[in-house]
Structure 1
Amino acid sequence: MSFNNKVIWITGASSGIGKHLAIECSNLNAKLILSSRNLDSLKAVKALCKNPDNIKLITLDLENYTTLETKVTEAISCYGSIDILVNNGGISQRSLAKETSVEVDKRIMDINYLGTIALTKALLPHFIKQQNGHFVVTTSIVGKIGTPLRSSYAASKHALHGFFDSLRAETHKDNIAVTLVCPGFVNTNISLNALTGNGKAQNKMDTATKNGIAPERFAQLMAKAIYKKKQEVYIAGFKEKLGVYTKRFFPKLLSKMIRKLSVT
């Protein structure tokens, strides 16, 4: 497996899944464009990669989604074309729906959904023109089944599934692929940075997240799914995967199971 001469643009690349996917794709000889809000963190990731000379850095903020067209122009100019966009940037949530302000709901939707689709739409004409391209989206198992304390986060991830399933059908004739990657628990800082009901970060590591898949291993499996152009893949533990299939075939049973999860 190799990404020789493939240009891969990864958002949310300064930490967690994005960081380790960048390292893995560099090991597989990809040319990379790495993006996040934090330039210093991106430089640190670049220094960890196998081929730092084949890595460009572009800062962007998905929340400011009206500015992303200029970022696409900048990204294309790095190598002259882009083959794969990995929409990985986003933010999570840890709060009850009744305690979550609408402002927090909006912020999560702005970052996770509107930022992602704005960047995708801005790059789409480039993919259509070259009659080739691949959109990869980091969603979540929670994009398939809603669980307590994640109502807004689940909504944003469900929305991504709806948009990209439609986009896949619309752009098949243009040789454009769409891969939806659904993580379960991965040992990253996602729960530390998750928004609470008032918009402040949780600043606490969830036990399930701490015990999740190692990000290095996750990145290996994600890179494999990208290489194979999988339409949808669940990279998760047994219980999370079981939840997806239980929802599909025994939805009432899953509802009972979900109600037993802790909401404190």
Structure 2
Amino acid sequence: MSFEGKTAWITGASSGIGAALARDWAARGAHVILSGRDEARLAEVAAGLGTDTLILPFDVRDEAAMQSATEKAIGWKGNVDIFVANAGISQRSPAVDTSMQVYRDIIEIDLTAQIAATQALLPHFAERGDGHLLFISSIAGKVGVPMRTAYCAAKHGLIGYADALRGELSRSDIGVHVVCPGSVATDVSRNALTSDGSKRGRSDKVIDNGIRPEDAARRIVDAVAEGQREIIVAEGMEEAMGEMRRTPDALFDQVAAMVASGYMEKMQAEE
């Protein structure tokens, strides 16, 4: 499919996978909306895109700001065709040492805020009946990875929300895509929270030697164009782990068949 003239809105767009997705979609002719907390860094990304770009800075935890940004995003070109729930933060700490506030913060940023942003846009997508919703989860959203208990909980939850939403929307032309990256060469480890909520401040060798963000973005956008519902972007052992836990397309189809047979209407009639 062509993305020419489409509008893509990306959260967490100031660096890493988010910025790389912005560059890839811009290169394919899309208009791009960039969101994140750092307006100056968003402006740097926008300056290199060479396409119509709108900067909407806000903290994903600020629901009022997010609602306002949603209205501006829709109003900019009249629609949003692609939404990428990408904002997030990781973790590097053993569960036994980790404060509950770290769990609350990571789940709020990586899960609750992403659901809230999607819910705000959902009426717009439902009214149009088409478009693409992308949820950037992780291999850690498929496999429990030590030192990331909060992160795994949030990313597993994001997949659960996305999969259920895909079933509900299966009678429309709205594509719901779950993206599970492995190690990508970003600042994810450097920015990860430790047991007391402070930033780790250093990276991992496996992250530094990971997939280049540009390569990850190209693989993601190509997979969206192909209509893939679950997109694993990883290499080596991480790819093998993700493939072992990949949800079969037949299961997605089974859920869609349930919806097509009137499952939701029957459930609502029983209330």
Partners of 1:115 and 1:62 in 2: CA distance: 6
Q: CA deviation at 1:74?
A: 1.2
State the alpha-carbon separation in 1 of the partners of residues 35 and 197 from structure 2. 24
Q: Is the 8 A contact 2:232 2:243 kept in 1?
A: no
In the TM superposition, residue 187 of structure 1 has moved relative to its aligned partner by 0.4
User: Is residue 92 of structure 1 aligned with residue 103 of structure 2?
Assistant: no
What is the percent sequence identity of the aligned residues? 40
Contact 1:136–1:180 (Cα < 8 Å) also in 2: yes
2:101 pairs with one of 82, 100, 103: 103
Measure, in 1, the Cα distance between the counterparts of 2:103 and 2:122. Answer: 27
Deviations 1:34-84 (A, max 9, x none): 100110000000111132xx1101012112235422221111111111111
Q: Which residue is 2:35 aligned to?
A: 35
1:132: Cα distance to partner? 1.2
Q: Partners in 2 of 1:179 and 1:165 — Cα distance?
A: 9
Contact (CA 8 Å) 2:184, 2:212: kept in 1 or not? yes
TM-score after normalising by structure 1: 0.90
3-state SS in 1 of match to 2:169: helix
Post-superposition offset of 1:175: 2.1
> In structure 2, which of residues 221, 224, 235 is the aligned counterpart of residue 223 of structure 1?
221
**SS of the residue 1:134 aligns to:** strand
2:48 corresponds in structure 1 to: 48
The CA distance in 2 between the partners of 1:196 and 1:247, in whole Å, is: 27
- What does residue 146 of structure 2 align with? 148
**TM superposition score normalised by structure 2:** 0.88
Q: How many residues align?
A: 247
Q: For 2:189, which of 188, 191, 215 is the aligned residue? A: 191
Q: Which runs of 5+ in 1 are unaligned?
A: 249-264
1:119-154 Cα offsets, whole Å, 9 max, x none, are 000000001111112100110000000111000000
Q: Which whole-Å deviations, capped at 9, do the CAs of 1:156-191 have from their partners, x for residues lacking one?
A: 000001101000000112321100110000000010
CA gap 1:111/1:36 in 2 versus in 1, 3 angstroms: same
Unaligned runs of 5+ in 2: 247-271
* Cα distance in structure 1, aligned partners of 2:147 and 2:55: 34
- Report the RMSD for the aligned CA atoms in angstroms: 1.4
What amino acid does structure 1 have at the position aligned with 2:123?
Answer: P
